[in-house]
């Protein structure tokens, strides 16, 4: 029997997935959907990691569909409203590391085979009203920002800068909001590593249709090692990703492979024993 499940972020308490009592979270449906089932997602912001459990089949894929094109938003970010004024235009937020679980984007740096950069940047990010800010290496740089002239955007945008450091079990975020009050604006930070991505391989024949997907703390996806994406089949087949708007993944937006091989991960970067080519 084919089942249609309904999801609505606006519901006060998650139901059983029926139209009258929809789930509150997409991932609730993702844990029980079977081949041929369809998940209809109402407009809203879904701050969650969707981890599809079951595969569809070639004849009967599992379909995830935004009820209104691009109106269902899956995001890996969370809002931050506990900013304290620090100095000048710079504010400080103290984030308990428990928020991040076992993956802290403000500890994890972008790294891997084929990645070459003179500076170290984290997979975390700060967004002011949807605009990604610029991570700096020193607090002094954030206190006295200088424009990055080669920026593809207006150089003025590069003055919105941030810096992070660890203090015990707390992540400290310093950000220069250029006169804006972050407690009155929409300020978000990367929290989740992926948005729509099975944690195991072989979850085939999934369709993702019409979603806005954004703001994940992905790390580098080299051809010689594990390739994660904000969206991805994780080494599965038969996927359709259509009519989606994908943005603000730290590294990879959509990944089609490569599965994790613990004994073969980033050998060139770690041991200089296996050339990246």
Question: pLDDT tens across 71-113, in order?
Answer: 999 999 999 999 999 999 999 999 999 999 999 999 999 999 8
Q: How far apart are CA 167 and CA 92, in angstroms?
A: 13
Q: What is the pLDDT of residue 274?
A: 64
Tokens of 65: 């569909």
Question: pLDDT tens across 241-268, in order?
Answer: 999 999 999 999 999 888 888 887 888 8
Percent of the chain with pLDDT over 70: 99
**Beta-bridge mates of residue 174:** 92, 163
**What order do you get walking across the sheet with 4-7 strand by strand?**
4-7, 38-41, 62-66, 206-209, 240-242
């Amino acid at each position: 029997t084919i089942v249609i499940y309904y999801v609505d972020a606006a519901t006060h308490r998650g139901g059983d997935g029926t139209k009258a009592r929809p789930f509150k979270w997409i991932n609730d449906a993702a844990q029980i959907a079977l081949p041929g089932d369809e998940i209809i997602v109402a407009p809203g912001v879904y701050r969650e990691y969707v981890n599809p459990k079951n595969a569809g089949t070639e004849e009967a894929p599992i379909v995830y569909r935004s009820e209104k094109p691009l109106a269902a938003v899956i995001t890996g970010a969370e809002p931050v409203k506990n900013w304290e004024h620090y100095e000048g235009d710079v504010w400080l937020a103290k984030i308990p590391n428990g928020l991040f679980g076992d993956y802290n984007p403000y500890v994890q740096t972008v790294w891997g085979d084929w990645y070459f950069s003179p500076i170290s940047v984290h997979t975390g990010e700060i967004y002011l009203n949807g605009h990604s800010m610029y991570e700096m290496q020193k607090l002094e740089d954030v206190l006295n920002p200088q424009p990055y002239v080669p920026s593809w955007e207006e150089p003025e945008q590069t003055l919105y800068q941030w810096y992070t450091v660890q203090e015990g079990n707390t992540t400290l975020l310093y950000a220069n909001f250029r006169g804006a009050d972050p407690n009155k604006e929409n300020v978000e930070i990367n929290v989740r590593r992926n948005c729509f991505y099975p944690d195991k391989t072989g979850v085939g024949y999934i369709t993702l249709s019409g979603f806005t997907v954004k703001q994940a703390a992905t790390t580098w996806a080299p051809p010689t090692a594990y390739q994660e994406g904000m969206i991805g089949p994780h080494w599965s087949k038969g996927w359709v990703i259509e009519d989606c708007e994908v943005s603000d993944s730290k590294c990879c937006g959509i990944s089609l492979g490569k599965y994790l091989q613990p004994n073969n991960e980033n050998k060139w970067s770690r041991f200089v024993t296996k050339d990246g080519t």
